[in-house]
Amino acid sequence: MSLERLEKALKGIQSNYSFANEHGLVKAGAKAHGVNLSEGGVFDSLEMTSEGKGAYNARLVKQDEDLEELALGLQKAESLTVICEDYRQSAQVANELGINNDDGKDAILATAGGPTQPMEGDNLERHNSLVEFIIAFHEVNSTALIRLIAHDGVCGGHASYIGTAKKAREAKKEEDLEEAVKAEDTVMIAHVRILAIQLVENKVDKEILKGGLAKVSEENKYQGIKWFDLFTDN
């Protein structure tokens, strides 16, 4: 029964996330930043050039993918990492974690916003489908580590993400930038914590959840993952 639930949850991801690419939102983002768009499944490696330039990595559940086979693969995975597809940090995060490979041990879901889907408007269905997918994954694979990783320097999306940090960067007000970045970090971390609390309320073991924030805001250069406690405000 649990595998059936996971297959259904995968269908939800397939339905609620693929529209971004179909409508060209991901392609437009890649074009605007002069980088490639790499599409793939949850067990495919993420693209980054030898020069260290990233790609928009859309890890969508493909329309022609065998969901039963994918569910069986997820049942054996050692970890699931949910991240944003943004070119400045998607492959870089995977490389830092040592999970950027095709060996089937580590699943990566890289989507617009990653674990920070707003719970309102058109984004609510995407948020709910992500919650259901992680719950269903945990049901069939209770020991796998689940990483929820957001990033700073948000380039678009929900207005509450952009806030004072983007305004300060655009205005180049150095005296305001440090406080603005801290404010943005607080918002992003809060969104990840909301997701984590929802998961625990639905019987996902809090001990296997890990929260992180990929730092990219300084000149769009990847600076690594800042880990934080998902359940303690510190």
> What does the DSSP assignment read for 90-114?
HHHHHHHHT--SSSSSEEEEEETTT
Tokens representing 183 are 């404010």
Averaged over 222-233, what is the pLDDT?
A: 93
Tokens representing 106 are 């580590």
pLDDT tens digits, residue range 101-111? Answer: 889 999 999 98
DSSP letter for 211, please.
E
User: Has residue 37 got a pLDDT over 70?
Assistant: yes
pLDDT tens digits, residue range 55-76? Answer: 888 877 777 789 999 999 999 9
Phi, psi of 41 (to 5 degrees): -95, 180
Question: What's the CA gap between 66 and 64, in Å, rounded?
Answer: 7
Buried (b) or exposed (e) across 52-89, using 16+ Cβ within 10 A?
A: eebbbbbbbbbeeeebeebbebbeebebbbbbbbbbbb
Local confidence band at 207 (pLDDT 50, 70, 90 cut-offs):
very high
Please report the pLDDT score of residue 161 as a whole number: 46
**Domain boundaries of the chain, sorted by first residue:** 2-228
* Averaged pLDDT of the chain: 85
More confident residue, 199 or 178: 199
Tokens representing 144 are 């796998």
Q: For the whole model, what pTM was predicted?
A: 0.90
